[in-house]
Amino acid sequence: MPLVNNKVGDDCTVGPEKALVDGKAQVDSLIKVVACHRHLASCVGGCTDSLQLRDELRRTREKALTLAGSICHHLTSHLRNKSLPEGQRKEMELLWVAFSSSLELLHVDLCKVFNISDIFSLANTVALVQTGLQGGGSEVAARALSLPDLNLAPNPTLPAGLESQERSTMEQEISHMDHMIEDMEMKVNVMRWMVEPHGPHGPQGAEALSSSDSASLAMFSVDEEQPGPPPPCQRSRISVLLLLVAVVLVAATLSVCIIFFT
Amino acid sequence: MTINTLAKGSWHREQMSCFRKMEKVIVAMQDPDMGIKMRNQRLLITVIPHAMTGHDIIAWLIKTYSICEEEALHLSGLLVRYGYIYPLKEPRSLVLRPDESPYRFQTPYFWTSNRWPASELDYAIYLAKKNIRKQGELMEYEKTRYSLLNKRINHTWDFVVMQAREQLRASKQRRKADRIVLECQEQAYWLINRPPPGVHSVLDMGLERPNNSAGVTLIETSRKALGRNRVKSSICLESFVKYSEQYQNHDPIMQGSLPSNPWISDDTTYWTMNSEMVTIPTRLRVERWSFSFMELLNDDMGRREFMTYLEKEFSAENLCFWQACEDIKHGESSRVIEKVEMIYKNFLAPGAARWVNIDSKTMDKTLEGIRNPHRFVMDDAQMHIYFLMKKDSYPRYLKSDLYKNMLAKAIVPQETKKSVFPFVRRQRHASPSPAQAVTQATEEDGHAKGGGQAGTNSAAAH
């Protein structure tokens, strides 16, 4: 495959299929990191907010930004390559759309965290909102950073300049993201509405992951409105089962008694 | 939907002041000494801390802010409706009951904000999560919204499903109690930001505030109505009657058209006689030129005659200027600027070849406007020149020899006579011309009178 444009860079020499696979892996990883970051961000300002959480948040954020930078470079160079075959281009555009959506989510999360850490400073832990959470997010951060577990020993006292330093770093990172987003829009012209996803469409497509999570809200069971016929049927089914079991037990004990006394 | 919506605007948008005040109240409630008393929420097996009863909230508000119970009820109701506190027993009913019903604080990440409004993408991810977690869990309205979103942001649906799965996997890393809390938080957030149909959305600020603006709009419309020009209907009718009288002879319906109405007789002489380039115009046409200046200018032949007259008087540049301004007003947009430049060069610049005489105030205003030329920049100057011509040149034209000669030269076409042979196709009159009917009637009257007199004379003679 001839080198089209010197400015495009080394990625052109790599085979397009490999580039696609690489890009897909990176985008998947970014989606995972963004999800974990959002999870951690939702704990900021709450009672589980601590230096450790902020540290984990920072590390996740850095990982997300490095991933985003490399994906941006990778996808931009491939999408500006005019000799890309049509099928490959469609796949690349799909990745592009997923990438820009994850950037959108990440940007909102960064802004929100920046804003909340404005209101809630760790120096004043009594003001943190008591949200009812108890555990930390270390496992989530470990998942984001793809490490088996996080061994952290954060210093118990808060250094004076750390928070302001972190705020300025965050501000820089947010503006860096803004520039990256603008650059993306300028350099690559992808018409988002023309992109066709090839996953399952619609509400019917997504299958249930596992039922263990459903039990969590079902335990609450204070939804006065019935979402549909299934829940009361399930409850009545359980009670009927219990009744049957009780009847069988009673019958068994009675028969045992009869056998013993006759 | 796209990245562009997260423009710098949202970064600098101010949080609404009512939200900031509510946040302060919430933060004040957290104080371990002066704050609210926390209880534990007992579910079947799990115990979740940090629950409070409605009664406690009201009592705390009354104590801290020294307000009455009604106000405390209202304030706590606001806190619940804007999502800073959510109910645990009946999550969909966002009211604060001043009894033992439990409530919990919302995490700051999910606080209501106008700086980062909930996006369609987020909502799609939330619904996808709910759907994946348990198949039948979506309510009816959620299902419709989900399919709508699927249509609307279909291009990013792969991402939505993947992100939903990743978020579920991330939350699986936490213990059960925390998972319940996180789910409740998210549910409360979306009940506020995407309320079920029929529920009033607190984030909807409405189009306008009714109390203030009703009076304001009334004042505005009244003021506009006062400023409108009014004419007494009697004066209006008088001018209408005068107009009708003046134009009566010129109206084809009232007076008939000579030589004949082309629509009826299929004879197009009428049109050919009144066309632009005819050498001898019809009398009616020339008479119309004397009715008003606009009539003269609207008729091409009249305009040319007037131009000839003005050239004799050495004031032709006025009419040229007026014509050029008309051309700008009704011409192509793309050439407006160059036309304005030309007019300036030819008519307005000091020492121009055909300099028009405009008063200094209008000249200054026009020169100012030429800097940003548009279609109507010459309007004032054009109006000035128009009135100049109308008051000055036009009456003189009407008294001039040129006009009088033209009037004398003008012809009155003869009415085409009906042919002797009645079935000739060429002159098919559906009905005779009213002009002819009038002359015939006067003739008949004359005959009848003469006949009557003759009759009486003869009767008297006998």
Range of the domain at B292: 257-409
Same domain? For B405 and B261 the reply is yes
Domain presence at residue B230: no
Domain presence at residue B346: yes
Q: Can you give the CATH number for the domain in which B55 is found?
A: 1.10.10.10
Q: Do B155 and A127 touch (CB under 8 A)?
A: no
Domain presence at residue B356: yes
Instruction: Tell me the residues of chain A between 160 and 179 that have a Cβ less than 8 Å away from chain B.
Output: 174, 178
Same domain? For B358 and B291 the reply is yes
CA–CA separation, A100 and B321 (whole Å):
59
CA–CA separation, B161 and B304 (whole Å):
77
Instruction: Tell me the residues of chain B between 437 and 456 that have a Cβ less than 8 Å away from chain A.
Output: none
The number of helices, as runs of H, and strands, as runs of E, in chain B is 23, 4
pLDDT tens-place string over residues A139-162: 888 888 887 766 655 544 555 567
Find chain A residues with C-beta within 8 A of B27's C-beta.
119, 127, 129
Q: Do B159 and A223 touch (CB under 8 A)?
A: no
CA-nearest residue to A180 within chain B is: B3
Looking at CA atoms only, how far is residue A171 from chain B in angstroms?
11
Same domain? For B182 and B155 the reply is yes
Single out the residue in B84, B111, B138 at which a domain terminates: B111
CB-based contact, A211 to chain B, within 8 Å: yes
What's the one-letter identity of residue A206? A
**What is the DSSP-derived secondary structure letter of residue B201?**
P
Q: Can you give the CATH number for the domain in which B331 is found?
A: 1.10.167.10
Single out the residue in B52, B80, B111 at which a domain terminates: B111
Nearest of A54, A187, A218 to residue A120 by alpha carbon: A54
Same domain? For B262 and B397 the reply is yes
Contact A4, A81 (CB under 8 A): yes
How many domains does one find in chain B? 3
Same domain? For B147 and B48 the reply is no
CA–CA separation, B98 and B61 (whole Å):
12
What's the predicted TM-score (pTM) here?
0.56
Q: Do B107 and A107 touch (CB under 8 A)?
A: no
CB-based contact, A145 to chain B, within 8 Å: no
Nearest of A181, A143, A117 to residue A59 by alpha carbon: A143
DSSP result, B45-60: S-EEEEEEEHHHHHHH
Same domain? For B267 and B388 the reply is yes
Domain presence at residue B11: no
Single out the residue in B169, B201, B233 at which a domain terminates: B201
CB-based contact, B31 to chain A, within 8 Å: yes
Per-residue pLDDT of chain A (262 residues; tens, 9 = 90+): 444 444 444 444 457 788 888 889 999 999 999 999 999 999 888 888 888 888 888 889 999 999 999 998 888 888 887 787 888 888 888 888 899 899 989 999 998 998 888 888 877 777 788 888 887 778 888 888 887 766 655 544 555 567 778 888 888 888 888 888 888 888 877 777 777 777 655 444 444 444 344 444 444 433 334 344 445 566 788 899 999 999 999 999 999 999 998 7
Same domain? For B142 and B98 the reply is no
Find chain B residues with C-beta within 8 A of A104's C-beta.
2-3, 6, 119, 121
**Which helix or strand (DSSP H or E) is residue A169 part of?**
helix A162-187
Positive/negative CA dihedral, B116, B117, B123, B124 = negative
Q: Is A158 helix (H, G, I), strand (E, B) or coil?
A: coil
Domain presence at residue B155: yes
Same domain? For B106 and B140 the reply is no
Per-residue pLDDT, A194: 75
Contact B55, B101 (CB under 8 A): no
Residue B296: CB partners within 8 Å, gap ≥ 6?
A: B289, B302, B303, B306, B394, B397
Residue B28: CB partners within 8 Å, gap ≥ 6?
A: B34, B35, B64
Instruction: Tell me the residues of chain A between 48 and 77 that have a Cβ less than 8 Å away from chain B.
Output: none
CB-based contact, B148 to chain A, within 8 Å: no
Q: Which two tokens stand for residue B56?
A: 């406690």
CB-based contact, A232 to chain B, within 8 Å: no
Contact B58, B69 (CB under 8 A): yes
Find chain A residues with C-beta within 8 A of B51's C-beta.
132
Q: Do A203 and B157 touch (CB under 8 A)?
A: no
Looking at CA atoms only, how far is residue A155 from chain B in angstroms?
24
CB-based contact, B12 to chain A, within 8 Å: no
- Omega prior to B259 cis, within 30 of 0: yes
Rg of chain B (C-alpha set): 43
**What residue ranges in B43-148 does DSSP mark as E strands?**
47-53, 85-87, 102-105
Instruction: Tell me the residues of chain B between 375 and 394 that have a Cβ less than 8 Å away from chain A.
Output: none
Q: What is the mean pLDDT of each run of 10 residues along chain B (462 residues)?
A: 40 67 88 81 84 91 92 92 91 88 91 85 94 86 92 90 93 88 92 88 64 76 88 92 92 84 85 86 90 93 93 93 94 90 91 89 92 91 94 93 91 73 54 62 58 50 50
CB-based contact, A44 to chain B, within 8 Å: yes
Same domain? For B127 and B68 the reply is no
